[in-house]
Amino acid sequence: MLKSRGCLIMLSLFSLLWGCGGGGLNLPNVVNPPNPQPPSPTISVRVTLNMNQVYEGEEVTCTAEVSPSVQQVINWKQEPSSPSGTFSPLSGSVVRWRSPMVERATSFSLIAYIVVQGKTYEGSASIVVLDRSEPPQEPPRISISYPTDDGRQNLVGEGTLLTILGRAQEGTYPLSKIQAIEGESVLQEWPISSSGDFRIDLEKFGSPGRKTLKLRAVDSQGLFGETQLPIINDNNQLDSAARGFLRKYSCSGDGGTIRFGNLQTGPYAMPVEIWLFQGVEPYQNLVESAAQFWTKYTGIQFKILRHDQHPSGDMYITICDTFSEDPGPVAITQRSFESDPHEITYVRVNLYKGWLSYNDDGRVIVIEHELGHAVLTAAEVTELGSYFIMNPVMTSGGKVISPFVQRAIQLLYSNPPGWTP
């Protein structure tokens, strides 16, 4: 029996965790994709306004910055289109917008856009227009901390989820909802009732290609504040990035993939059984939360077994209570193989004394991380940012699985052990 091992040392809830090697979605067709098309150019448009609210009939100065600079006309428009204000001039990097007459406080989105190689790129900023009889009214504010526009965190496609982490702050009126918008179409919305950090999952990405969505915080009176959410909705590019991840992190020296079980015994064929030692049973709810995390992002189903419920076969994950030991790491995962070095047949996760020092959120993140060593990679992955579940840095707000890694897992478990991505 061959073994490989991964370990995790967590120094504090918000500090570096030293590591050493060691729900469900409607899954898309993940057979070999066609050759990817060249990616669209990376162009961003940023809009700023010299004020965020005006009275009807007043003017606001709008400035657009295009990066990288291109020799294209910058045009302007407003949403909603009625009642209509007036841009002067109609195009340019700096224009003035005279606000329309309104019956009550109304939010508008002022949008700058350019067309390059037949593709439209836009940026926007929001403003509140007040009726003359109204006092000043503050719109909500919204910001995003994840994903960044790095071409990987925000790369999406069919059958994936994009987790968005951010913060919303109410203005004059209570918050009502957050919306993801493409053009004038609402792709998805989520209720929100109070200011603070939020975590939402976007699964509707609209039209394909590189583009910028608007993420709006809307209050009870319909006033909104917004920020930009750049995404790349490209199935071919997603598949290419997924295969690259597998080659780097989930393959043996011969280039073949290493996975838990095979096409008959592994994930997607049947639930992965997790057998708890008796000392772990008081924390079963935490194990269930960690399993649900993986199910949400990957579609892999799990079955939790207590110590007196024996696994149905020889292929399962055991979580052991080694709380009396303090070797340094708070958890270690051991992966075992029988005859095929590409097929994991048994996984043992040891939870050590240090694991007990964390609150429940931290404990769940540790188990999520160790399950990742069981079903995805023995490596600690730091290049995808601290929010990625296989990064050994503990973060507040929880962890995520990037969409292209979700696709990597779909590919991994739709093919036999030893498959070459």
pLDDT per residue as tens digits for the range 9-18: 343 222 223 2
User: Does residue 151 contact residue 232 with C-beta atoms inside 8 Å?
Assistant: yes
Q: How high is the pLDDT of residue 43?
A: 87
d(CA 405, CA 242): 6
User: Does residue 314 contact residue 275 with C-beta atoms inside 8 Å?
Assistant: no
User: Does residue 271 contact residue 302 with C-beta atoms inside 8 Å?
Assistant: yes
Q: Please give the structure tokens belonging to residue 297.
A: 């992002």
Q: How confident is residue 342, by pLDDT bands cut at 50, 70 and 90?
A: very high
Distances 225 to 43, 106, 191 between C-alpha atoms, Å: 23, 11, 15
Q: How high is the pLDDT of residue 5?
A: 52
Q: How high is the pLDDT of residue 40?
A: 53
| Average confidence (pLDDT) over 110-114 | 96
Longest dimension (CA), the chain: 80
Q: How confident is residue 41, by pLDDT bands cut at 50, 70 and 90?
A: low
**Cα end-to-end distance, the chain, whole Å:** 26
Half-sphere exposure of 297 (CA within 13 A, CB side): 26
Q: How high is the pLDDT of residue 171?
A: 96
Name the residue type at position 148: T
CA 145, chain centre distance (Å)? 11
Residue 157 has pLDDT above 80, yes or no: yes
Residue 396 has pLDDT above 90, yes or no: no
Say if strands 155-156 and 224-233 run parallel, antiparallel, or are unpaired: parallel
The second-level CATH assignment, the architecture, of 2-34+236-412 is 3-Layer(aba) Sandwich (3.40)
Q: How confident is residue 184, by pLDDT bands cut at 50, 70 and 90?
A: confident
Q: Where are the domains of the chain?
A: 2-34+236-412, 44-234
Residue 128 has pLDDT above 90, yes or no: yes
Residue 51 has pLDDT above 90, yes or no: yes
Domain 44-234 adopts which CATH fold?
Immunoglobulin-like (2.60.40)
pLDDT tens, residue by residue, 302-337 = 999 999 999 998 899 999 999 999 999 999 999 999
d(CA 325, CA 331): 10
Say if strands 155-156 and 162-169 run parallel, antiparallel, or are unpaired: unpaired
Residue 25 has pLDDT above 50, yes or no: no
pLDDT tens, residue by residue, 199-235 = 999 999 999 999 999 999 999 999 999 999 999 999 9
Spell out the SS3 assignment of the chain: CEEEEEEEEECCCCCEEEEECCCCCCCCCCCCCCCCCCCCCCCEEEEEECCCEEECCCEEEEEEEEECCCCCCCEEEEECCCCCCEEECCECCEEEEECCCCCCCEEEEEEEEEEECCEEEEEEEEEEEECCCCCCCCCCEEEEEECCCCCCCCEECCCCCEEEEEEEECCCCCEEEEEEEECCEEEEEEECCCCEEEEEEECCCCCCEEEEEEEEEEECCCCEEEEEEEEEECHHHHHHHHHHHHHHHCECCCCCECEECCCCCCCCCCCEEEEECHHHHHHHHHHHHHHHHHHHHHCCCEEEECCCCCCCCCCEEEEEEECCCCCCCCEEEEEEECCCCCEEEEEEEEEEHHHHHCCHHHHHHHHHHHHHHHHCCCCCCCCCCCCECCCCECCCCCCECCHHHHHHHHHHCCCCCCCCC
Give percent above pLDDT 70 in the chain.
90
Count of other CB atoms within 10 angstroms of residue 36:
14
pLDDT tens, residue by residue, 408-417 = 999 999 999 9
Q: Among residues 77, 47, 79, 53, which one has the least CA distance to residue 65?
A: 47
Count of other CB atoms within 10 angstroms of residue 231:
23
Is 271 buried (19+), middle (13-18) or exposed (0-12) by CB count in 10 A? middle
User: Does residue 5 contact residue 335 with C-beta atoms inside 8 Å?
Assistant: yes
Count of other CB atoms within 10 angstroms of residue 310:
11
Q: How high is the pLDDT of residue 42?
A: 77
d(CA 310, CA 220): 53
User: Does residue 323 contact residue 363 with C-beta atoms inside 8 Å?
Assistant: no
Residue 2 has pLDDT above 50, yes or no: no
